[in-house]
Structure 1
Amino acid sequence: MSNDELNLRHITPAFRTFAGGDALRRFVKQLDRDGLTRAVIITVPAILEHQDAADHLRNALGDRLVGIFDGVVEHSPVPDVLAARDFLAEKQADVVVAVGGGSAVVTARAASILLAEGKDVRELCTQRAADGSLTSPKLSAPKLPQWVIPSTPTSAYAKAGAAVRDPETGDRLALFDPKIRAQGIVLDPVLAGTAPEGLVRSASLNVLSMAVEGLLSRTRDPLADALLAHALRAVKRWLPELKADPAATEPRLQLMLAALMSGQGSDSTGGGLAQALAHAVGPRSAAPNGVVEALLLPHSMRFVTDVVPDRFGLIGDVLRTVDSSAEVVVEAVEDLLAGFEVPTRLRDVSVQESALAEAADHARDDWFITAVPRVPNHEEILDLLRNAW
């Protein structure tokens, strides 16, 4: 087989997408078909403060709803995930419904993994082996089915992992289990309207960054490329529409679909350097994770120009650059991010220079860094962060 011959492995897990005014009704019918009668919602307090949305959700689920856990916290700290696990056990849930953004989705998944496996999170998380490689234990216990009713776009919809944060050490603990993938997503206009515009914007920047870095993968997968390219195209098109009319439903739903495509596409190509760095830097900043990731994106793109120069043309096609050279494409991405008012320096989002070394240490242990086409060492990570600072 020649080096130019296509050779890929692309898996499309079963996944249902319901969108529009009757999305919740279709979702409930699906629960009935699956024989699920004890639904627990995992969400943030802000969702329940929207009384119309909360009533809309409760009325749709009816007596299938046996409890609402509203203790989700940003970055999914371990103590709050353990509280969600205990709530699922107490309510004898047979289906978990994450309502909100990425933190709700991750908390719901992580709580379900911990409930099923019955072990400490550090026994179950991805760890560094003796040879220096990162390995994920095989988690064999059956998991509760998961559904997502989002209020923001997040690529977490379609993922098989959940990363929680140890607030005592700052460690990011990644849990991976294909059985915890969501059964589907419910794009409801009422729930979609509950998130502030700024939150939708920052989440969309994460979607954009993941799409760009997915397109810069070494993986040659036209199916993934199509998903990622359209996700990038959709964010470019619909984020300005959101700014022009923050209350409009259409931009929010379209950005959620972009998030789904970005998540599914990057599932095949792997994560990116900006994503791994943002996981480490984000909790040390004053900005949402999506903003930090977008800030770091041009730096991560330049880091891989020598190893995947041919992939920049895929991004250039979407952004309609004058040519497909790496520098021209990176500059086009910088212009796009400037239009979205993304800061250009880590110091502008309150990251202290003294925190960079520790962030570099944590980034090296991030699973996503293993998929980067040019895997950096500690000094290269630190240099990149210093340049961004």
Structure 2
Amino acid sequence: MFQPADTFEFEYLGSDVIYGRGRVAELGDRLGAAGIDRALVVCGSNVGANEAVMGPVREGLGDRLAGVFDETSSAKSIETAADAVEALHAADADAIVGVGGGSSLNVARQMSALAADGRSADELRAAAEADGTVATPDPDGPLTPVAVVPTTLTGADLSAGGSLVVLPREASPTGQPVVASWSVPPTLVVEDPALFETTPHGPLAGSAMNGFNKGLETVYAAGGSPVTDATATHGLRHLVAGLPGLDGEGPTAVDRAVVGMILVQYESRINVIHAFGQALSRRYPVQQGVAHAVMAPHVLRFVLDNVDGRRRLLAEGLDVEAEGRTDEEVADAVVAAVREVRDSLGVPTRLRDLGGVSHDDLRPIAEYVADHGVLAAAPPGLTVTVEDAEAVLERAW
């Protein structure tokens, strides 16, 4: 099977993406070339205390390191982002470097927009309490440049998106979480496989299905192209080869997994699986990748039971033999292959095993899924009703 290059770089939607072991050492020079003098590192407490990550990041930034804000969490709350903005100003920083998992990278991007937007957390919360929504127009002020250095496999690094929870569901007038979301493309993305290896296997494996599912969904999404077919299927090939070896097969597996994640993010079109994963992770303190792991085989089964879902192209990406098989047999083999990758990661496989998830909440979760905006990119001909979503959740329970 094709082996990835040791190092490469390219431009994607205005971001410079660099890949290779040890390339975090270029962080300061790259930012300097962009006219940046002082950068605030934004991360969670575990990453902030992990010298195997922070040492290379500090060395890479050198004199451009203005400080570290290490208070992000999977909650992605507006309060945390507002605190990070205060830290940005206190450090007199002119750039943000998000380091770690998807939550930290999202907060890093969103805090840039929050700083430019000018509204306080209290003002955004008041708007959310009034009508259950938050308007997020393009900020009037300039955006603070953001660089991201991922250490997990969420596939959140090439994204310009993200969200901040303004009101949790228990405080929301709609009974669903209210989020604020801006688009902030990163200036620089540093994909250094050595940093992924510093993440304990549990969180690394738990993040993986979030990114893996981007490849699945991009294949069958509405509005795809031969380019996205190529990047998504080739990315899936790398992930199928790399993910099962994360726990013990050394650097080759990690390198392949990171390259696979880069590929499946290229013009990715998230849709049905992500609607379920986000419905769960926004309602409960559950790692989104773990929610994806539980739901992926069941959601994929639902998709392939109702539409073709480009199952033979999925089979190609998943290294599943389709020649001589009926459409039904190909669908069965595709779902089985996804389940096999999921099970190799050692993550939870049932909703009831996720801490705090209540069977009584399946209906409101289904309502959130059926109303999710990402369903606009669902496979042509597929509709997802509340009843459909609830039935899928029941099967995953």
Instruction: Return the match for 1:363 from 344, 355, 369.
Output: 369
Task: Tell me if structure 2 keeps the 8 A contact 1:47–1:194.
Answer: no
Task: Tell me if structure 2 keeps the 8 A contact 1:213–1:301.
Answer: no
Task: Tell me if structure 2 keeps the 8 A contact 1:200–1:252.
Answer: no
**CA distance in structure 1 between the partners assigned to 2:266 and 2:278 by the alignment:** 19
Q: TM-score when scaled to structure 1? A: 0.84
Does the residue aligned with 1:257 lie in a helix, a strand or coil?
A: helix
Task: Tell me if structure 2 keeps the 8 A contact 1:225–1:265.
Answer: no
Count of matched residue positions in the alignment of Structure 1 and Structure 2 = 367
**CA distance in structure 2 between the partners assigned to 1:37 and 1:140 by the alignment:** 23
1:311 offset after TM fit, Å? Answer: 0.9
Task: Tell me if structure 1 keeps the 8 A contact 2:26–2:60.
Answer: no
Sort the Cα spacing of 1:15 and 1:305 in 2 relative to 1 into closer, same or farther, 3 A: same
1:212 offset after TM fit, Å? Answer: 0.7
Correspondence for 1:304: 303
Instruction: Return the match for 2:215 from 211, 214, 219.
Output: 211
Does the residue aligned with 1:304 lie in a helix, a strand or coil?
A: helix
Sort the Cα spacing of 1:120 and 1:367 in 2 relative to 1 into closer, same or farther, 3 A: farther
Task: Tell me if structure 1 keeps the 8 A contact 2:206–2:347.
Answer: no
1:43 matches 2:43 = yes
Q: Which moved more, 1:302-311 or 1:32-41?
A: 302-311
Paired-residue identity, %: 27
1:334 matches 2:333 = no
1:193 offset after TM fit, Å? Answer: 2.8
Correspondence for 2:8: none
**CA distance in structure 1 between the partners assigned to 2:65 and 2:340 by the alignment:** 46
Task: Tell me if structure 2 keeps the 8 A contact 1:161–1:174.
Answer: no
Correspondence for 2:384: 376
Task: Tell me if structure 1 keeps the 8 A contact 2:276–2:369.
Answer: yes
Does the residue aligned with 1:238 lie in a helix, a strand or coil?
A: helix
Sort the Cα spacing of 1:317 and 1:281 in 2 relative to 1 into closer, same or farther, 3 A: same
Q: Structure 2 matches for 1:221-240, cutoff 5 A?
A: 221-240=225-244
1:243 matches 2:247 = yes
1:372 offset after TM fit, Å? Answer: 1.8
**CA distance in structure 2 between the partners assigned to 1:135 and 1:35 by the alignment:** 32
1:88 matches 2:88 = yes
* Structure 1 residues 56-90: Cα deviation after superposition (integer angstroms, max 9, x where no partner): 32232122111110011113122111211221222
Does the residue aligned with 2:17 lie in a helix, a strand or coil?
A: strand
**CA distance in structure 2 between the partners assigned to 1:115 and 1:59 by the alignment:** 27
* Structure 1 residues 21-80: Cα deviation after superposition (integer angstroms, max 9, x where no partner): 441333322212111001111011112322343233223212211111001111312211
Does the residue aligned with 2:266 lie in a helix, a strand or coil?
A: helix
**CA distance in structure 1 between the partners assigned to 2:180 and 2:384 by the alignment:** 20
1:171 matches 2:171 = no
Sort the Cα spacing of 1:69 and 1:109 in 2 relative to 1 into closer, same or farther, 3 A: same
Q: Give the RMSD, CA atoms, in angstroms.
A: 2.9
**CA distance in structure 1 between the partners assigned to 2:187 and 2:307 by the alignment:** 34
Task: State the one-letter code of the partner of 2:259.
Answer: L
**CA distance in structure 1 between the partners assigned to 2:338 and 2:308 by the alignment:** 15
Task: State the one-letter code of the partner of 1:275.
Answer: H
Gaps of 5+ in 2: 1-10
Does the residue aligned with 2:97 lie in a helix, a strand or coil?
A: strand
Task: Tell me if structure 2 keeps the 8 A contact 1:16–1:183.
Answer: yes
1:255 matches 2:257 = yes
Task: Tell me if structure 2 keeps the 8 A contact 1:159–1:264.
Answer: no
1:312 offset after TM fit, Å? Answer: 1.0
1:188 matches 2:201 = no
Correspondence for 1:387: 395
Q: Structure 2 matches for 1:252-291, cutoff 5 A?
A: 252-266=254-268, 270-284=269-283, 287-291=286-290
Does the residue aligned with 2:42 lie in a helix, a strand or coil?
A: strand
Sort the Cα spacing of 1:250 and 1:386 in 2 relative to 1 into closer, same or farther, 3 A: same
Instruction: Return the match for 2:359 from 333, 353, 370.
Output: 353
Correspondence for 1:6: none
Task: State the one-letter code of the partner of 2:253.
Answer: P
Q: Which moved more, 1:295-304 or 1:338-347?
A: 338-347
Q: TM-score when scaled to structure 2? A: 0.83
**CA distance in structure 2 between the partners assigned to 1:50 and 1:342 by the alignment:** 23
**CA distance in structure 2 between the partners assigned to 1:12 and 1:191 by the alignment:** 22
Does the residue aligned with 1:157 lie in a helix, a strand or coil?
A: coil
Correspondence for 1:202: 206
Does the residue aligned with 2:163 lie in a helix, a strand or coil?
A: strand
Task: Tell me if structure 1 keeps the 8 A contact 2:280–2:365.
Answer: yes
